[in-house]
Structure 1
Amino acid sequence: MSFTSMEVAIFGASACAAVCAQYAFIRCGLHGSFTSASWPEATLPDVQELTRVSNLVLSVYERDVTEPRFSDPVPPACVVKSVSYDDTRGQCPPYTIFLDLDARDICVAIRGLHLTHEADYAVLLNNRTGQQRLEDGFAHKGLLQAAWWLLEREADTLKELLQSNPGFSLTTSGHSLGSGIAALLTLLLASSLDRVGDLPPGKLHCLAFAPPRVVSLNLAVKYSDFITSVVLQLAVSPGVLMYEGHACPILGALSESWTPVHTREGPSYSLH
């Protein structure tokens, strides 16, 4: 039995719709609104830090930080290095390194999944359950390789910045695909701080916005002090276990007919 390309496309779209409908019913109709009911409220300093870093992540999407479309303006002097798709050559999504003198912080911000960019899918789909060992657990192979590539490329830059700005903290952050890479970059840094010089305890932190699940549970618990995940209750990326590949068919189907729509909305956060 053979199928036409149209029939295959219809079947793929129907399967995607069924999976999305099931997810929406479980999250919206059953228990989604109760996920954070027992969590403590975020403090004002927590929210201020989230706002500061989320704006830096948004600015990675800008063509020109002096004329922002999505983020609030970021002083050009804060931008140490901006790396594009042309520079990463498919190894990692674009990212920017910021030096925030007011916050006494160095931030590595990584952009999220570009639904029409094949290189991001190559990173995302490079994984099978149990394929990539990391310490005493497992990690997403493609995202871990991207984190290793970024660390190899920028270790000297980060070391230089930390040496010339003693007492500064180092923050990694990103959205969606970028937040998964940022979290894994933090794991690599936490286990080998000598790569970037003498970083005092408590000065390394990751703020992951809508992160996919990229490590086994034991590693998530082990490094929980270093990483804060920020999600909306109905966000798809954190609710789907990319580690087992469940999200890949959904994202693959979306990429076939995706039309980018850029909006700018006020921030809304849940902290855990």
Structure 2
Amino acid sequence: MGTINDKGQIFVEVNFEGYSTHFGTCEAARWFLTHEMGTINDRLHKHQGFRLRLVGHSFGGAIVSMLSIMIRKNTCDELGFSPDIVTAVGYGTPPCVSRDLAGSCSEFVTTDDIIPRLSVATLMRLRKEILQTDW
């Protein structure tokens, strides 16, 4: 089941710990969590004291955002390192999680990129807000 957005694209949702997320993003992040955590763990042990910043563009930004959320849901014993050292930065990241989930990870995920949210509707709303401001 999914919903169709204003561009006619199907948005398939999946539940992640009570939050709504995009199915493909969640599955891709789970794949990395399953197949690449050994490599990540090895590198973090080799480079003690370093932090892990996951970076991605577009769909990759959505994946690293979701992956950082998944990693940080684990304990130090499960991961072999502290989940607090993990952050994510996404560029051109499409919306892929519910507002509540986005709010819950705002301390360690950054996706402040205006371009994916730029549309005629947002520009009209901005214009309206500016014109209604008392200066």
**Do they fold alike, i.e. is TM over 0.5?**
yes
Q: Report the AA paired with residue 21 of structure 2.
A: A
Of all paired residues, the percent bearing the same amino acid is: 26
Q: Report the AA paired with residue 219 of structure 1.
A: L
- State whether residues 75 and 83 of structure 2, in contact with CA within 8 Å, keep that contact through their aligned partners in structure 1: no
Structure 1 pair 154–207 and aligned structure 2 pair: CA distance change class (3 A): same
Take 1:200 and 1:141, find their aligned partners in 2: how far apart are those partners?
Answer: 23
Q: Report the AA paired with residue 166 of structure 1.
A: Q
In the alignment, which of 207, 213, 218 is matched to residue 89 of structure 2?
207
Shift of 1:167: 1.1
Q: Report the AA paired with residue 152 of structure 1.
A: T
Secondary structure of 2:54's partner?
strand
- State whether residues 206 and 228 of structure 1, in contact with CA within 8 Å, keep that contact through their aligned partners in structure 2: yes
Q: Report the AA paired with residue 134 of structure 1.
A: F
Q: 2:110 aligned with 1:228, yes or no?
A: yes
Q: Deviations over 1:237-272 (max 9, x none)?
A: 3458xxxxxxxxxxxxxxxxxxxxxxxxxxxxxxxx
Match of 2:14 in 1: 132
Q: Deviations over 1:120-157 (max 9, x none)?
A: xxxx96x42xx310112111001110010011110111
Output aligned runs, 1:185-264, within 5 Å: 185-194=67-76, 195-199=78-82, 201=84, 203-231=85-113, 233=114, 235=115, 237-239=116-118
Output aligned runs, 1:18-97, within 5 Å: none
Secondary structure of 2:111's partner?
strand
The structure having more radius of gyration, on CA atoms, is 1
* Large movers: runs of 4+ above 6 Å: none
Match of 1:59 in 2: none
Query: Which structure 2 segments of 5+ residues have no match?
Result: 1-6, 120-135
Structure 1 pair 238–145 and aligned structure 2 pair: CA distance change class (3 A): farther
Take 1:176 and 1:165, find their aligned partners in 2: how far apart are those partners?
Answer: 28
- State whether residues 74 and 83 of structure 2, in contact with CA within 8 Å, keep that contact through their aligned partners in structure 1: no
Size of the alignment, in residue pairs?
111
Take 1:198 and 1:151, find their aligned partners in 2: how far apart are those partners?
Answer: 14
Say what the alpha-carbon RMSD is for the aligned residues: 2.2
Output aligned runs, 1:151-162, within 5 Å: 151-162=33-44
Secondary structure of 1:230's partner?
coil
Match of 2:126 in 1: none
Shift of 1:199: 1.9
Secondary structure of 1:133's partner?
strand
Q: TM-score, normalised by structure 1?
A: 0.38
Q: Deviations over 1:13-40 (max 9, x none)?
A: xxxxxx7xxxxxxxxxxxxxxxxxxxxx
Query: Which structure 1 segments of 5+ residues have no match?
Result: 1-18, 20-123, 241-272
Q: TM-score, normalised by structure 2?
A: 0.73
- State whether residues 25 and 66 of structure 2, in contact with CA within 8 Å, keep that contact through their aligned partners in structure 1: yes
Shift of 1:216: 0.6
